Chains A and B, each alone.
Chain A
């Protein structure tokens, strides 16, 4: 849980709790707290019927560990308002591909949250891959740092490649005629 997250480019208060499975805990048995939560994929899969109405209202979301296949949620996307993808280390880049697939291949339109080691120097890449909600570790940043971090989301005004955020690559997005070379 983090007290402040960045959502759609704005700093907002947030109290959503990420439920984790401790070793030996069975997805069918653990208590899912009331209020805004993210539950592990295994819990969602084991108790879909029980949790469905909370998911449909957006109160409950599902989080995937890095490496868990987003295809596992393909049939649930219409029912889910919130999905989170985890970064176990900020150098583990699997969730960038997972986010890209979720948005572009499966057409997911709800909130897509980055959780785990979500650091400000990766915000730009995360948002370009389709994350609209960024949850840095609790207490990691001061308000002032978070403000600066929000500004850094726009570090690259016209990126070269196609991504979730910029579906067209630069060569289709703008006119790069041959007569505007920069003289260095």
Chain B
């Protein structure tokens, strides 16, 4: 993974010093709350329901073992012994003391980590395919480009006060593993007819109150022009994006208002001035950054391993875990493992200091010292020898990290919700908890098969409910928590937004409703049909009819 040189490190150290001084002036009364707010937000610091929340950036989800150990150390020293992994490959602490944050930033900087621009109306943490470099369906490794763009976005003086937040993601494979179409800019690394890499550029996607899928603004931008093209998009947005209404300030609203053709024309006009200018990426710079992402020193291993096959055949629990939590690797004899942060009884994405230390140890022992965060709030070890899987599984199981539920019902994506977040309309963790407890039975989960159940505590959609096969959204009605349910959303290549099935439900009804949705699916499914396939085939009506048949007709209309 990327290692800082003296320039990266100096910049980060200067940032830490800058924020330390800003915090000092805030505590001394020299900076007002309003003046301090964007400064602290761009350093990851929110003021939350109970305490500050501190959001650390993990660029494109890559974590070194020493960085995991540092996070564990921070959790023990400055928080309550755990952290939360988010859908944007950030790490959140929920209980730090305000005045400790500069020290936490200094600790992070010592392992090349930071909280740069993890909030505020600026370019946020850039995400990329968690299986970059190891997936068999990869076109080219997107991480060097993600790192080059990260550097361009970091402390960028022109785009620190955009109309609204701005999120960029990279994918570069047959399968979309980052939900490219829900990003402000989605960059799909492809090759043209001559085999040269470049980007299909999507723009104007986003979830939130007005979910919109991104549209193609450029079919192919050669890689050398990645920065200048993105800069042109950002400049058009910074100048013309709405600033009068918080809810209409994302770039998706500008793109919709102009139409993608007119937006493209403006971007191209802007780009014409900077194309081939100094920000054009050089071969040397790409080579410098790409060298950091060279494949690790794989051993030559046989594609077949009878001893491993015997382990699989001899242990049903191991075989189940292997089937659900292990992914194919392009290198013979290797596999990628997904450690589940979705054990029943734990808030989805929460991970203790001990678990982070253990993941670091597992990464060192089995995966070249690196781990990757997934937007589904799990952690992958990307480069594991197949012959080590059994030992890894045993160690992970002892630490509660081997629940064989990846892609299943209890692998719930869930935001922190009203228990922590001051933006939330409703709590989401108790909903996830109730669902996990009700559907904990693994045989049942395997019978139901692959299903994405996503929960957000408010319209901001951090829990990606719009793209869940079943999506649950917390809404506030007269200071009561209600839950609106959508079905039919999907992530991946055919990303679609779910449809609301009808009026919302009280907290204690949600589990029953999900149960009825699943029963309806079981009754209607064809052989080998997943929940989402059945919904797409029969539509939402049969589900809706079933759920509302026995319910009172007097409920309030749903918010949309």
Contacts and interface: CB of A to CB of B under 8 A. Distances in A.
Given A105-B273, A152-B18, A169-B152, A176 B5 contact: yes
A184 B291 CA distance: 18
Given A90-B35, A145-B30, A176-B5, A128 B279 contact: no
- Size category of the B interface is 35 or more
A167 B277 CA distance: 10
Given A125-B158, A163-B158, A169-B152, 12 more contacts: A67-B239, A90-B161, A145-B30, A157-B10, A159-B11, A160-B154, A161-B157, A161-B279, A174-B7, A177-B288, A178-B291, A184-B112
Given A128-B157, A145-B30, A182 B5 contact: yes
Interface residues of A, number: 43
Contacts of A178: 288, 291
Interface string A10-34: 0000000000000000000000000
B499 to A, nearest CB: 36
B39 to A, nearest CB: 6
The 10 closest A-B pairs by CB, nearest first: A93-B161, A125-B157, A128-B157, A171-B285, A160-B151, A181-B3, A96-B158, A182-B9, A97-B238, A162-B279
Given A129-B158, A168-B278, A96 B238 contact: yes
Nearest to A105: B273
A180 B7 CA distance: 10
A178 B4 CA distance: 10
Contacts of B39: 121
Contacts of B390: none
Contacts of B239: 67, 94, 97-98
B364 to A, nearest CB: 15
A84 B3 CA distance: 42
Given A119-B35, A178-B288, A161 B156 contact: yes
A94 B273 CA distance: 19
Interface of A: 67, 90-94, 96-98, 100, 105, 119, 121, 124-126, 128-129, 145, 152, 155-163, 167-172, 174, 176-178, 180-182, 184
B8 interface: yes
B257 to A, nearest CB: 16
Interface string B15-35: 101100110000000110001
B110 interface: yes
